[in-house]
């Protein structure tokens, strides 16, 4: 019997790409969402690409009907793409685990990922595999660090500076906007190696990228800040994000100062409005985005190493990058390669595996 995969938020920005990729690989996918019209539209699009695709639609509210629907649909794996994960509790994951079903999420929220790790005993008692933070960060970022570590025989990362900047015209979902707006101008929870209070969207710097426009970058929340130092010896760690439009980025930066100075803006409560406003600037931008990982390190011969790794995505293919971990981990979970329990998606997807999934897309990597 073919395993069924239930994708929560299956027609969203990331869920739709994951649903499509899994169907094209021959998996039986159940697209979830509350809007049947959108779900059926995606189903029709996938069937037009692959007439024999095994795909169905299940429209229900994941926060109130999930347990009953799992018992009815009987999936082997649930993929949770219903962000934003900032401020979200782990009830969905707990429901899936208690139903005895494997689970993957695309979480980027620091608190959420830490709360997920507390479910390890429950997952083991139910003999299920639970993968949290299966997204660009920390999956790709950690795979890059592992690659650089092995390639250059690194024993210590003195500093790691990472950042992501999507194209102005790239698909941006409401959940992503809510996540970013939730911490603008607010003090970020300290992490290992951070010696002073840092604030969201501040400490601006200009990042050069190969083949696309340079970007302004500012402090960003990411699960990497907490989980990467557990797996790598890192002295100083910085994670940033930036907009392609310097005008738009500067506007967000100014808002961060208002919040920092005590002005109550509640930006994340009006994320839908600000998402529409951001699209007014689309004429100033492109569909080209990038990510960088810059390291200063010492190898086992006590030699200094300085490297910067880039991934560049064009033609609106950037949103495919955070979808890769869930696609790869689906294969690993269903073939029994992973042990039961909860773990962040670190050191279980290699850089080669990651880039292989991106072969059909307008994506390039560089290392200097």
* Separation of alpha carbons 131 and 102, rounded Å: 9
Query: Residue 8 to residues 77, 79, 166: CA-CA distances in angstroms?
Result: 11, 6, 24
Cβ pair 13, 319 in contact under 8 A? yes
* Token couple for 42: 């995606």
pLDDT for res 215? 97
* Separation of alpha carbons 188 and 221, rounded Å: 7
pLDDT for res 1? 56
The closest alpha carbon to 241, from 289, 300, 201, 294, belongs to: 201
Domain locations in the chain as residue ranges: 4-136+319-363, 137-313
pLDDT for res 174? 64
CATH superfamily to which 137-313 belongs? Dihydrodipicolinate Reductase; domain 2 (3.30.360.10)
Tokens 């790869």 locate to: 328
Mean pLDDT per block of 10 residues along the chain (368 residues) reads 91 96 97 96 96 96 95 97 88 97 95 97 98 97 98 97 93 70 89 88 96 96 95 96 91 91 80 75 89 98 97 96 98 95 97 98 97
Q: What is the pLDDT of residues 192-224, one digit of tens each?
A: 878 889 999 999 999 999 999 999 999 999 999
Is 0.75 topped by the overall pTM? yes
pLDDT for res 268? 72
* Separation of alpha carbons 107 and 98, rounded Å: 20
Query: Residue 172 to residues 278, 315, 319: CA-CA distances in angstroms?
Result: 10, 14, 8
* Separation of alpha carbons 209 and 286, rounded Å: 14
The DSSP bridge pattern shows strands 205-207 and 215-219 to be antiparallel
* Separation of alpha carbons 269 and 2, rounded Å: 42
* Separation of alpha carbons 38 and 367, rounded Å: 40
Region at 211 (left for phi over 0; alpha for psi -120 to 50; beta for the rest):
left
Class of domain 4-136+319-363: alpha beta
19-25 contact pairs (CB < 8 A, 24+): 19/46, 19/55, 20/45, 20/46, 20/49, 21/323, 21/327, 21/357, 22/327, 22/330, 23/50, 23/53, 23/54, 23/55, 24/49, 24/50, 24/53, 25/327, 25/331
pLDDT for res 284? 80
Tokens 């998996």 locate to: 27
């Amino acid at each position: 019997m073919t395993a069924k995969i239930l994708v929560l938020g299956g027609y969203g920005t990331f869920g739709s790409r994951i649903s499509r990729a899994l169907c094209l690989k021959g998996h039986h996918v159940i697209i979830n969402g509350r809007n049947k019209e959108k779900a059926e539209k995606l189903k029709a699009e996938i069937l037009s690409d692959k007439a024999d695709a095994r795909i169905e639609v299940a429209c229900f509210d994941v926060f109130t009907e999930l347990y009953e629907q799992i018992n009815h649909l009987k999936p082997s794996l649930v993929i949770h793409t219903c962000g934003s994960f900032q401020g979200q509790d782990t009830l969905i994951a707990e429901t899936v685990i208690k139903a005895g079903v494997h689970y993957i999420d695309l979480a980027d929220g620091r608190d959420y990922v830490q709360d997920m790790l507390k479910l390890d005993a429950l997952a083991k008692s139910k003999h299920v595999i639970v993968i949290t933070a299966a997204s660009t960060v920390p999956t790709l970022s950690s795979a890059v660090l592992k690659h650089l570590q092995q390639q250059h025989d690194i024993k210590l990362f003195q500093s790691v500076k990472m950042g992501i900047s999507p194209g102005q015209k790239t698909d941006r979902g409401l959940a992503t906007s809510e996540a970013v707006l939730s911490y603008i101008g607010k003090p970020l929870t300290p992490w290992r190696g951070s010696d002073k209070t840092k604030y969201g969207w501040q400490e601006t710097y200009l990042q050069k990228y190969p083949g696309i426009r340079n970007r302004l970058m500012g402090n960003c929340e990411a699960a990497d800040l907490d989980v990467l130092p557990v797996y790598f010896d890192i002295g100083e760690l910085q994670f940033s994000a930036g907009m392609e439009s310097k005008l738009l980025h500067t506007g967000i930066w100014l808002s961060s100062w208002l919040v920092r100075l005590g002005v109550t803006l509640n930006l994340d409560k009006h994320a839908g409005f600000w998402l529409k406003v951001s699209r007014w600037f689309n004429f100033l931008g492109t569909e080209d985005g990038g990510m960088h990982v810059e390291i200063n390190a010492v190898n086992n011969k006590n030699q200094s190493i300085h490297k910067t790794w880039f991934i560049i995505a064009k033609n609106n293919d950037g949103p495919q990058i955070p979808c890769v971990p869930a696609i790869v981990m689906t294969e690993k979970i269903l073939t029994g390669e992973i042990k039961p329990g909860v773990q962040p998606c670190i050191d279980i997807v290699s850089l080669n595996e990651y880039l292989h999934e991106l072969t059909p897309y307008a994506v390039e990597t560089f290392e200097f």
